Structure formats: C-alpha cells, structure tokens
Structure 1
Amino acid sequence: MVVRRRRKIKKYRGSRTVGRGCAKRGRGSGEKGGKGLSGGHKQKWSYILRYIPDHFGKHGFVRPDEVSAEILAINVGDIDEHIDELVEKGAARREENKFVVDMSKIGVDKVLGGGKVTHAIEVIAKEFSESAKKKLEETGGKAVAGGV
C-alpha cells in the first residue's frame, strides 16, 4: 500500500523552525527519501531505469594481472649508447670485434628498433621487433631470440 502524505511546502518566512518542530529536524532530507540517489534500490527506481540504467550490477571483464604481464622493452639505440655501462655491470662482454649483451641480466624482455646503432652488437633477448633485427644486422651484429 502506498502511503500518501502532504508535502510540507508551507511558507514560514521569518520563522526559525519553518514548521519542522525543532531546528535539527529540518537539516537532512528525511521526508523526501534522502539526498540524491540514496535508496536507489528501493525508491526512485523509475529515475534509475530511465537515466542511469547501468548504475547497478557488474559490467565488463578485468583481466587478471597474472595473465597480462607487462613487457619491459628497450631501444637498440639505448643499448648502443650505454654499452660501456653494461660491460661494467656484467650484462655485456666484449668478444673480438663485437659486444655480446644479455638482456635478461638487466630484466628486459623485448628489444625495439629506436635510435642509432654504431657498434657491432650481438643481443640476446626474448623478443625483437623487425626494425631492431634489421639495425643490428646492418652494423655487423645479430639478434639472438630465446633468452631466459
């Protein structure tokens, strides 16, 4: 059964309590079903269905972090630029006329083709872009896929 009440829209201008008894009672939105969309599952349902139908419930899908692992990548130009530092750290070594760099030692998964390559570098990594392979081979180096 729907309860019908008269709305309090009496104009008590100049009155301290405006027909609400004491001042505390008129502060919230008690007789109007709460402020905003409060009680949206119980009242104001027609408003929710019309204007925000997707307000309640689950929507979409979020891939677990374990499935979508982040791939750490580096440009061949950066490897070439910091080759001396990589040798000092032990991630690279010099063999005859070229450098051999193991990307797994610095935690890099993929090598990209950005930048310029001036040294002959053999890079060991999990993945390579086509442009990275091309740039390494042009300078006398090579891309070895399948690093652990």
Structure 2
Amino acid sequence: MQRLRRGGWSFRGSHCEGTRVLGGELMDCGVAVAAVGRSVAAIAREAGAAQSIPRNLALIANPISLSPQPTRLHKNRKKRGHVSAGHGRIGKHRSHPGGRGNAGGQHHHRILFDKYHPGYFGKVGMRQFHKMKNREFCPTVNVDKIWGMLPEGTLEATKTAGGKAPVLDLVKLGVFKVLGKGRLPEAPIIVKAKYFSKEAEKKIKAAGGACLLTA
C-alpha cells in the first residue's frame, strides 16, 4: 500500500482494502463505509478539517453495476446472422454523400446529366406572353363516334317506328367541333356544338338529323 497523506484515501483494486488518515489516526475502510450514512460535514469535523467528498466514497455510497449488459437484451440480437444488419451492402448505414435524388445536376453531377440527359437544364426559344392558348382550345370528335356518346340502346330505340331523334349536346361533354370522318347509321340525331365541318354537317343532315350551333 502506498504511503498515505494526512486526510487521504487509498483503495486497492475494486475491493475496500484501504485506510484513511483522520486526525493523525488510521481509520479502517469498513468503518468509513459505516459512516457514509452520516453527513460528510460531520465526518470532516470529526477529522479536524473540512474536506471534500472523495470520488471513491461517492461510489461506495451509490454503488453502480459495472458488469456488461447481457446479450439477450442487446438491440442488435434480432439481426444476428445477417451481415449488413438491415443497413444494406451499398450504403452501409451512411448518409447521402452525393446528395439526394437529382441534386448536383449542374454541379458535381454535371457529367452524368450532360452525357445521358442533354438539355435537361436551361431554356430554348421565347415565350409568347401575349398569346392566349385558351382561345385556340377546341376539342373535336368525328361523326362516327357521336352515337357512342349516347346511352346504350338509344340507337335501337330511334330506329323503331315513331322513335324520336335524340339530342346530343357535345359542349356539355367537353367537345366543341364535329368533323366528318367515318360513317353515320341511318338514324336521325340532333347535334349541338360550336363548330361543324362541311362534311360533318352534310352527313348528319343526310341521315335525317340536324346541326345546332351553340355559344
């Protein structure tokens, strides 16, 4: 045991095999442990000098477990036998060093974008800010499709004797113009639209129908 200074502590290993010099007298460690319940100030007064609490004395007063955690309680026990433990072979539980997604397409990933995605960045030409494309919006349909836009069985009911010609409002269905491609069945139909081509108007009237212009 090393030489003890007045008021000092000495411990050997993790066992309480030390003594303390209190007021010039040796005090056995067992007595010191028994005295932990009393206030440290009282012990200091009895020793004849005000001394701070040694760290080892605090450990004796509040012992902690230094044994390792049992294996059955480890979080990674579920991943035993799997090499990457759920973090993948490529990323290996690392972040995104090159950025996420398409980050850096004009900077550190420029070669990739210039080689495989030319023209991805930038603008070409001019934007005609005064041009109103909604004025040119005009969905179309051909005459051979208009009967298919009516409920099923309407054509058969119209062909029977005394059947009335159905009215088809194409504007409500989102169609503005009727074109003349295809053939119409021999049955009258009244079609409402904003525009009719000459061929479409000719075929609808030839079948006994009529063309009505709407706003």
Between 1 and 2, higher relative CO (CA 8 Å, sep ≥ 6) is seen in 1
TM-score bracket, shorter-length normalisation: 0.3 to 0.5
Structure with the larger strand share: 1
* TM norm structure 1: 0.47
